[in-house]
Chains A and B, each alone.
Chain A
């Protein structure tokens, strides 16, 4: 009986793992620059996303985008559009596509792709073969952006 239960439990675990497996950077399905499915199969954590957005070693999104929600952080950049009310202007699928690889929507943009791990020219060894953010971090940032509403 114990063995049988253990078997069921193992099967459940395996099932959970399969559901939670991240979409690989090369396997992300874009439709007109948008990405419908969560990269992790789960909703992101907006509070974590807020940290990733500001962290210079992670998203460092503030380097280019002003964001009134992060008024406590100094030095907001102005290379990209401001983030205030961004959830009113874009759908979650559009934001996921833009964070994952904005070049799929905006050809020639300066914005880095945050979930692409191959095809770079002369990447530093420390970053070769890696994406800037993990699938979880992308989902967290997307969840955070969806909280930035003005209306």
Chain B
């Protein structure tokens, strides 16, 4: 076999690394965010982790620096209204028990986590409150009322480092998530790692591949002008590679969410972030 093509591949790889994440630093409302950190010890193939913010255009980046400019705050305001809205048979609102939403500071950094022997995401906690304490209908995983609420609650942790537990009870879920991350699926036969670990920083057609970090979710996407849940984004990725997505809120996506959260340990929560 002629070896020249291999050399071409290697050279292209080196040339393109120059166009990887940018050097910009993120300050939101005067508070400095950590968008770059040493990779957590469990990550074997990367030395440094970067927030998806570092891969976006200057215009998109700017939208996240000021809450007045950040289009996600329309939905945060909806979340504030929902927080006080009585719903269900018990005549309660979120605020009936949780007097101050600011008390949720830190929660986003720890989710998903194992509770009563089950891995739970923020959406599960919200729906547990709705069905068990309020006597209300559960919200759909990625619908507007749910993402408004996860944005409002997640915002209380903005600037705090991601810090999920991956040992003890969480270990088997984390292992499952890791396995999913490296499993090829769909007609395009790709795993998460093929794009977001092996090729982050590269352009794939018009899109600049990031590391697929989830520290900014729910995220406002310019593409669909709404808040997007973590599981909704997983679903979109799977469809792009022509794979049948797992169910939102299902065991697979919760496990993947835990694993991805753990790949972002140390990055600041940016909820609600702005992406393209």
User: Residues on A close to B: CB < 8 A?
Assistant: 32, 56, 60, 62-64, 74-82, 89-90, 110, 112-113, 120-127, 130, 132
The DSSP consensus for interface residues of chain A is loop
**8 Å CB interface, B60-96 against A:** none
Asked whether, in the complex, the Cβ of B243 is within 8 Å of the Cβ of A122, the reply is: yes
| Nearest opposing residue in chain B for A106, CB measure | B9
Which one, B186, B199, B206, B209, contacts A123 given CB within 8 A?
B186
Known A79-B209, A90-B5, A123-B244; 12 more pairs at CB < 8 Å = A79-B195, A79-B202, A110-B190, A112-B189, A113-B189, A120-B187, A122-B243, A123-B243, A124-B186, A124-B239, A127-B186, A127-B242
CB proximity of B22 to chain A, nearest CB, Å: 16
- Contact residue range for chain B? 20 to 34
A76 CA / B12 CA spacing, docked (Å):
13
CB proximity of B155 to chain A, nearest CB, Å: 33
- Judged by a CB distance under 8 angstroms, whether B132 is at the interface is no
Asked whether, in the complex, the Cβ of B190 is within 8 Å of the Cβ of A125, the reply is: no
CB proximity of B129 to chain A, nearest CB, Å: 33
**8 Å CB interface, B23-68 against A:** none
Across-interface contacts of B4 in A (CB, < 8 A): 89
Asked whether, in the complex, the Cβ of A79 is within 8 Å of the Cβ of B204, the reply is: yes
Across-interface contacts of A74 in B (CB, < 8 A): 206
Across-interface contacts of A81 in B (CB, < 8 A): 5, 8-9, 12
Q: List 11 A-B contacts (CB under 8 A).
A: A62-B205, A75-B205, A78-B203, A79-B195, A81-B12, A82-B8, A110-B195, A110-B199, A112-B187, A120-B187, A121-B183
A75 CA / B204 CA spacing, docked (Å):
8
A89 CA / B239 CA spacing, docked (Å):
34
Asked whether, in the complex, the Cβ of A63 is within 8 Å of the Cβ of B189, the reply is: no
| Nearest opposing residue in chain B for A98, CB measure | B5
Asked whether, in the complex, the Cβ of A78 is within 8 Å of the Cβ of B12, the reply is: yes
Which one, A32, A63, A126, A127, contacts B1 given CB within 8 A?
A32
A32 CA / B44 CA spacing, docked (Å):
31
Across-interface contacts of A90 in B (CB, < 8 A): 2, 5
Asked whether, in the complex, the Cβ of A120 is within 8 Å of the Cβ of B186, the reply is: yes
**Number of A-B residue pairs with CB-CB distance less than 8 Å in the complex they form:** 86
Most buried by B among A75, A77, A82: A77
CB proximity of B11 to chain A, nearest CB, Å: 8
Asked whether, in the complex, the Cβ of A121 is within 8 Å of the Cβ of B198, the reply is: no
Which one, B2, B204, B238, contacts A77 given CB within 8 A?
B204
- Judged by a CB distance under 8 angstroms, whether B115 is at the interface is no
Across-interface contacts of A63 in B (CB, < 8 A): 204-205
A113 CA / B241 CA spacing, docked (Å):
12
Asked whether, in the complex, the Cβ of B199 is within 8 Å of the Cβ of A89, the reply is: no
A89 CA / B206 CA spacing, docked (Å):
27
Across-interface contacts of B198 in A (CB, < 8 A): 110
CB proximity of B235 to chain A, nearest CB, Å: 12
- Judged by a CB distance under 8 angstroms, whether B176 is at the interface is no
| Nearest opposing residue in chain B for A88, CB measure | B4
| Nearest opposing residue in chain A for B246, CB measure | A122
Across-interface contacts of A125 in B (CB, < 8 A): 244
Which one, A60, A80, A124, contacts B187 given CB within 8 A?
A124
Asked whether, in the complex, the Cβ of A64 is within 8 Å of the Cβ of B204, the reply is: yes
A132 CA / B185 CA spacing, docked (Å):
14
Across-interface contacts of B184 in A (CB, < 8 A): 121
Asked whether, in the complex, the Cβ of A75 is within 8 Å of the Cβ of B203, the reply is: yes
| Nearest opposing residue in chain A for B186, CB measure | A123
| Nearest opposing residue in chain B for A74, CB measure | B206
CB proximity of B190 to chain A, nearest CB, Å: 6
A127 CA / B12 CA spacing, docked (Å):
32
Known A-B contacts A77-B202, A89-B5; the reply to A112 vs B188 at CB < 8 A is yes
CB proximity of A145 to chain B, nearest CB, Å: 13
A20 CA / B209 CA spacing, docked (Å):
41
Known A-B contacts A89-B8, A110-B194; the reply to A122 vs B203 at CB < 8 A is no
